[in-house]
Amino acid sequence: DKKRELDKKFTSDHPDMINVINTIDILKKKIVKSLNVYEVSLQKHIQDIKHEKKKLQKTLKTFPKKERKLIDYKREYEVYSKMYTYLLKLKVQKTVSFGAVKSNYKIVDKAFTDYSTKKPKPKLFIAVQFLIGIIMGISFIFLKELFRGSLINESSFELLGEIPHTKSKEVYTEVLNNPESNFSGAFRRIRNKFAQNFNKESEVIAVISENEEDGKTTVAINFASIFSLVAYRTILINLDLKKPMLHRYFTIDNRYGVSNYIKNECEIDDIIYPTLHDHLDMISAGSHSNNITDLLKSKKLNLLIEELKNRYDIIVLDTPSIQSSSDTLDILHLADEVLFVVKKDDYTYDKNDYLKKLIKTQKIKNLAIVLNNMKKSAMSNIYKSSFFNKTDNNKDDFSKLLKEEEYI
């Protein structure tokens, strides 16, 4: 109304007119803002109503199920109630009839049960089973040894020797520390049998095994040691470059060894270490390398063996086990003879077939078996001499060896 009155008197540029227009605009904005707030409030209220509606509808849908359950409960209640009433009446009837008729029977003696065992007699049964168990055990051991002896007799491999079980803590150097023991005697017999066919200026012997637990390193060290005791120039080479352990038994530095020589990091004289024992030297594995396979296939290794043949009578190669590394098979061509070390109880027909396959695939000429960890020699009657072909030239060498042995 005020704007209409001012329109009649003034133009739109008049200050009063401008104030009135601004006031109207402000009021419009407030009204619009209030309407927006009210609209948002209404929308929220509508959403709450819809949510409540859905909730009520969901609750409403459960009523038929609950009503059905209630009907089922009522039906079960009626059935159980009628059954209870019937049983209660039946109980009353039985009570009345039992009171009316009284039995004249009396129990003279109550029945008893004898729970003791009549047959078989427990003590006799246990004794018989115990004896059967002992007989079967002895029979099994006897047949096992019989068949193992038959297996080696039937095989085409030389049984070079049997190493007895020993409890010595220094078994690796037992031959050097205790040359008169039964353990050393077993290696002395192996040396004598081996020397019968020792007809070269230098022999390279590789000691191998299928598993790490067969005692390959023990045999390698003591085999080399037994030759050094009779003044054979002997050297022991550790070709297990992956897990070198040989140097620890002689407290020798492993900083320079086979791997360093092959990589041209040192000369041959730098890797030959004398031990505390006469006529026995050693070459350790050397520093660790990532390319072990390439090192063992290197021509430099062949040159090392050829040079050592000019210096030593016996060269013993301690190789990694075949199961842990296939590199062992790549260096067997360096050896003149191969000793396969296996635990006595592990020599089976499968092992025999495995050796036949190994000889065929690797073209091994001379392979002999050394049975390790023998608790009692049960196969001494199956030694043969098929490892080498005897010649007239080696008889004098063997006689000399026997004479030297008398002074050990």
Residue keyed to tokens 């199920």: 65
- Picking from 383, 2, 387, 400, the residue whose alpha carbon sits closest to that of residue 194 is 387
Q: How far apart are CA 211 and CA 331, in angstroms?
A: 17
Determine which of 161-175, 220-234, 297-311, 373-387 has the lowest per-residue pLDDT on average.
373-387
Q: What is the pLDDT of residue 117?
A: 67
Q: How far apart are CA 149 and CA 110, in angstroms?
A: 69
Considering 100, 123, 145, which residue would you say is the last residue of a domain?
Answer: 100
Q: What is the pLDDT of residue 382?
A: 39
Residue 311 in any domain: the answer is yes
Q: How far apart are CA 185 and CA 191, in angstroms?
A: 10
Whether residue 202 is found in the same domain as residue 273: yes
- Is residue 183 within 8 Å of 164, Cβ to Cβ? yes
Report the 10 Å Cβ neighbour count for 33: 10
Q: How confident is the model at residue 105 (pLDDT cuts 50, 70, 90)?
A: low
Whether residue 265 is found in the same domain as residue 372: yes
Whether residue 145 is found in the same domain as residue 263: no
Quick: pLDDT tens for 66-98: 788 888 889 899 999 999 999 999 888 888 776
Residue keyed to tokens 């063992």: 296
Whether residue 225 is found in the same domain as residue 317: yes
The pLDDT of residue 403 is above 60: no
Q: Which amino acid is present at 327?
A: D
Q: What is the pLDDT of residue 169?
A: 78
Residue 147 in any domain: the answer is yes
Residue 372 in any domain: the answer is yes
| Rounded alpha-carbon distances, angstroms, from residue 35 to 15, 30, 41, 380 | 30, 8, 10, 114
Q: What is the pLDDT of residue 170?
A: 83
Q: For the chain, what is the domain count?
A: 3
Q: Which helix (H) or strand (E) holds 83?
A: helix 15-100
Quick: pLDDT tens for 311-352: 999 999 999 888 887 788 888 888 889 999 988 777 776 777
Q: How confident is the model at residue 376 (pLDDT cuts 50, 70, 90)?
A: low
Burial class (CB in 10 A: 0-12, 13-18, 19+), 192: middle
Q: Which helix (H) or strand (E) holds 350?
A: helix 349-362
The pLDDT of residue 235 is above 90: yes
Whether residue 148 is found in the same domain as residue 250: no
Burial class (CB in 10 A: 0-12, 13-18, 19+), 160: buried
- Picking from 272, 292, 296, 294, the residue whose alpha carbon sits closest to that of residue 283 is 272
Whether residue 126 is found in the same domain as residue 88: no
Q: Model-level pTM? A: 0.56
Residue 105 in any domain: the answer is no
Given its phi and psi angles, is residue 264 left (phi above 0), alpha (psi -120 to 50 degrees) or beta? left
- Is residue 370 within 8 Å of 218, Cβ to Cβ? no
Pull the structure tokens for residue 276.
């505390």
Q: Which residues pair with 283 in a beta bridge?
A: 237, 272
Whether residue 297 is found in the same domain as residue 320: yes
Q: How far apart are CA 93 and CA 242, in angstroms?
A: 95
- Is residue 340 within 8 Å of 355, Cβ to Cβ? yes
Q: How far apart are CA 384 and CA 153, in angstroms?
A: 8
Whether residue 256 is found in the same domain as residue 378: yes
Whether residue 73 is found in the same domain as residue 217: no
Residue 107 in any domain: the answer is no
- Is residue 343 within 8 Å of 209, Cβ to Cβ? no
Considering 154, 169, 185, which residue would you say is the last residue of a domain?
Answer: 154
Residue 299 belongs to what domain range? 156-405
- Is residue 218 within 8 Å of 173, Cβ to Cβ? no
Quick: pLDDT tens for 247-274: 888 888 888 899 999 999 999 999 999 9
Positive or negative, the CA dihedral 71, 72, 77, 80 is positive
Residue 106 in any domain: the answer is no
Whether residue 300 is found in the same domain as residue 318: yes
Q: Which residues pair with 272 in a beta bridge?
A: 283
The string of DSSP letters for 252-273 reads: ---SSSHHHHHTTSS-HHHHEE
Whether residue 286 is found in the same domain as residue 188: yes
Q: Which residues pair with 159 in a beta bridge?
A: 369
Residue 94 in any domain: the answer is yes
Quick: pLDDT tens for 157-187: 678 888 888 887 788 888 998 888 888 999 9
CATH number of domain containing 341: 3.40.50.300
- Is residue 263 within 8 Å of 296, Cβ to Cβ? no
Residue 22 in any domain: the answer is yes
- Is residue 341 within 8 Å of 214, Cβ to Cβ? yes
Whether residue 324 is found in the same domain as residue 380: yes
Mean pLDDT of 231-248: 89
